[in-house]
């Protein structure tokens, strides 16, 4: 009888450990999903900001070339 109790205690400890690991795996998966979602939002924000910066630089460069051409053409 004692050997059966010992075996059952050993199995119960393993089962509890498996349940704990399963819960940890679910939590880890949720955290990874959250991190992935945050990285996606950051990527979208950086992408949008990059296009705003490029548009501003292109417009400013075009304006400066136009002003320079005007001054060169009209003797400023």
Domain count, the chain: 1
Provide the residue count of the chain. Answer: 76
Phi and psi torsions of 75, nearest 5°: 75, 15
Rounded mean pLDDT of 2-12? 76
Tokens representing residue 75 in the block: 């003797």
Say what the pTM is: 0.58
* Res. 6: pLDDT tops 90: no
Q: What is the pLDDT of residues 8-53, one digit of tens each?
A: 777 777 776 878 888 889 999 999 999 999 999 999 999 999 999 9
- Structure tokens of 7? 């075996």
Domain span at 18? 1-76
pLDDT for res 20: 82
């Amino acid at each position: 009888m004692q050997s059966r109790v010992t075996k059952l205690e050993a199995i119960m400890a393993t089962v509890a450990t498996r349940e704990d690991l399963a819960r940890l795996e679910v939590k880890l998966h949720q955290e990874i999903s959250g991190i992935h979602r945050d990285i996606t939002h950051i990527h979208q924000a950086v992408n949008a900001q990059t296009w705003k910066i490029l548009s501003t630089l292109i417009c400013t460069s075009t304006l400066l070339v136009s002003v320079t051409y005007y001054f060169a053409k009209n003797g400023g």
